[in-house]
Amino acid sequence: SSSLSSSLSSSLSSSLSSSSTPPPPPPPRRSFSTTPTLVLQLEITTSIPNVSIGCLATIDGYVWTASSDFMLRQWTIKNFADDVGSVSYRKELQVLHHLKLPIANVEVPRFQSITGMISPLASKNQVWVAMGNQLVVVDLSRAPKGTQSPLSPTLIQFLEPRHNDVIRFLGRTWRGRNDQMVVLSVSRESRELWEWDSQTHMRVGVQTPIPEGCGGVIKCGVDTGLFRWLATDTHLCRILLDQSDEKEKEKGKEK
pLDDT of 200? 92
Q: What angle do CA 183, 220, 181 make, to 5 degrees?
A: 15
pLDDT, tens only, 111-123: 888 999 998 865 6
The answer to whether the CB of 233 falls within 8 A of the CB of 219 is yes
Q: Which residues contact 117 (CB under 8 A, 6 or more apart)?
A: 55, 56, 57, 64, 66, 72, 127, 128, 129, 130, 170
Q: What is the pLDDT of residue 41?
A: 62
Predicted confidence at residue 103, as pLDDT, reads: 82
Contact 140, 149 (CB under 8 A): no
The mean pLDDT of 30-53, rounded to a whole number, is: 58
For residue 129, what pLDDT band results from cuts at 50, 70 and 90? very high
The angle subtended at Cα 63 by Cα 220 and Cα 86, nearest 5°, is 145
Contacts of 52 (CB under 8 A, 6+ apart): 44, 67, 68
**Amino acid 23: pLDDT:** 60
Q: Which residue has the higher pLDDT, 152 or 84?
A: 152
pLDDT digits over 141-185, tens only?
877 766 566 677 788 999 999 999 999 999 988 876 567 789 999
* Segments making up each domain of the chain, as ranges: 40-254
- Please state whether beta strands 53-59 and 167-175 pair in parallel, antiparallel, or not at all (unpaired): unpaired
User: Residue 131: which pLDDT band, with cuts at 50, 70 and 90?
Assistant: very high
Of the listed ranges 30-44, 79-93, 194-208, the least confidently predicted one is: 30-44
CATH code reported for the domain at 40-254 = 2.130.10.10
pLDDT at 37 over 70: no
Q: Mind listing the pLDDT tens digit for each residue in 60-75? A: 888 899 998 898 988 8
Which long-range contacts does 195-202 make (Cβ < 8 Å, 24+ apart)?
Answer: 196/128, 196/135, 196/159, 198/120, 198/122, 198/123, 198/126, 198/128, 198/172, 201/137, 201/157, 201/159
